[in-house]
Every structure is written in C-alpha cells, then in structure tokens.
Amino acid sequence: MKIVVIGGTGLIGSKLVKTLRERGHDALAASPKTGVNTITREGLAQAIDGAAVVVDVANAPVWEDEAVLDFFETSGRNLLAAEAAAGVRHHVALSIVGSERLPDNGYFRAKLAQESLVKASGIPHTILRATQFFEFVGGIAQSATVGGEIRLSPALIQPMASDDVVAALADVTLAPPVGGTLEVAGPEAIPLDDLVRRFLLATKDTRKVVPDIHARYFGDVLNDQSLTPGRNPRLGTIRFEDWLGQQTER
C-alpha cells in the first residue's frame, strides 16, 4: 500500500516512514527536502498520486501566532484538495492533546484550525492527538528561563517518547479511519516543574526550577487537565526516567 507521510523527514515523520517500510508498505517521505511543498504545492499532486493513505505530521517552521496559523491553514487546504483529487481513502493528522483548552497558545489554535479543515474535508480521517514529547522538554525549560531561573507551573503533564508516538501513528495509519479523534499519552503524569527538574539533573544543568502556579506555558496558565488526556487514551510504554537514561548514555 502506498502511504505518503507529509513532514516525512522530521523527527516523527522519518521514524514513521521507517516503521511503515518495515511493515511492508510503500511509504514516501514528503517534505520540502524531498521536493514536496504543501505551501507552494510543488510536487504535491505527483507525490499523492496513487496513495491510499496520507499522514500529515508536518511541523510549522515558524512560531509567531499569525504565521503558524497561516502555515497550517494553507498547508491543510492544499493537501486536502490534492487528496480529494487523487481519491485518497484515509487522511491521518497528528495533533496535540489539550489544543482546545489553551486558547492563548497560538500554536494550539493553529492545530485546532487544522483539525477543523480535516473534519470538514469529507475525506475519511483519523485525528491522533498526542501529548508533548520528551524531546521537547529542553525547549520548554528554555522558554521559561529568565536569568538562571526557570519558573514553571506544577500542573500535571503526561509526556511521551517520540517512539511511542510513532508506534501509535503506525497502527492508526494501517487501521480503518475512525472518523474522529483518538488520544495517546505517556505512561505517567508528572508535575511540569518536576519533569524539567529531572531533565536538568540528568543533563547536569545548574539552572534552578521554581514552581509557580501562575507561570504561563506558551501563553496560558495551566491546571492538571490542560496537558493530560481524557478517558481511555492509548498509553506509551517508555517512561521518562528510562528515556533520560538512554539519552545520557549516547
């Protein structure tokens, strides 16, 4: 089966392409690096021709609120139009747990807009919402750093390894479309400040983490439901401590 992975050269996409090929499928890594651009539409129709499934794991190259919204809306419209023309039978989109609960987070608002386009497209689809990746913890710490101090909410977060995201995505990709949204999360909920504190300890970073219930996470104040899944999510198997150990051994 031909499967096109949009964003197929990134962190998640490259692993997903490898996994799908190992399962015997014709997986195409589509990204500007391979001549496929969902913004300009360069190479898009040719890449999708003959595909049964398209998986969109593309990440915006910008973070400014209006720019990221424009990226996901333009990319989504172009991609879904090309899929409709090609007769694609299943569209899979990777989104974020809690997107609708953090209205002041511009990236989350853009992902909601992307989800809306998918739902309105008429193409059979599955939206897989994932919690934050372990690989992003360093970036979270940096975003909250002022001087040598990191102020973070103690609200719960349930992050996961990118390998667990890929495993869930691969299963969703090869299953029939559900016509709705599924969630996947890490195996344990951890206070955000403690998560970053563990990361700093493992990486021998001397910055101090200060818990602050008013600290904003990319624009929003958090509570224990902001970044954790709802009922019956799929859970990954890789724990944060084990992932940290693997990183420090490299």
CATH classification of the domain holding 216: 3.40.50.720
Q: Which pLDDT band holds residue 250 (cuts at 50, 70, 90)? A: low
151 touches 196 (CB < 8 A) = no
Size of the chain, expressed as the number of residues it contains: 250
At 199, which amino acid appears?
F
pLDDT one-digit tens code per residue, 192-235: 999 999 999 999 999 999 999 999 999 899 999 999 999 999 99
Distance from C-alpha of 67 to C-alpha of 63, rounded to nearest angstrom: 7
pLDDT in tens, 37-89: 999 999 999 999 999 999 999 999 888 999 999 999 999 999 999 999 999 99
pLDDT exceeding 90 applies to what percent of the chain? 92
CB 218 within 8 A of CB 226: no
Between CA 95 and CA 203, with CA 12 as vertex, the angle to 5 degrees is 105
User: Considering Cα of 142, then 201, then 12, then 187, what sign does the dihedral take?
Assistant: negative
| Residue 7: per-residue pLDDT | 97
Return the H-helix or E-strand segment holding 192.
Answer: helix 192-202
pLDDT confidence bin for 249, thresholds 50/70/90: low
What pLDDT was estimated at residue 120? Answer: 97
**Residue 61's pLDDT is what?**
87
Domain assignment of residue 207, given as a range: 2-249
C-alpha torsion sign, points 77, 78, 81, 86: negative
101, amino acid identity: R
> Partners of 208 in the beta sheet?
149
Contact 227, 98 (CB under 8 A): yes
Q: Provide the domain count of the chain.
A: 1
- Decide the pairing of beta strands 234-235 and 125-130: unpaired
Backbone angles phi, psi at 2, to 5 degrees: -85, 125
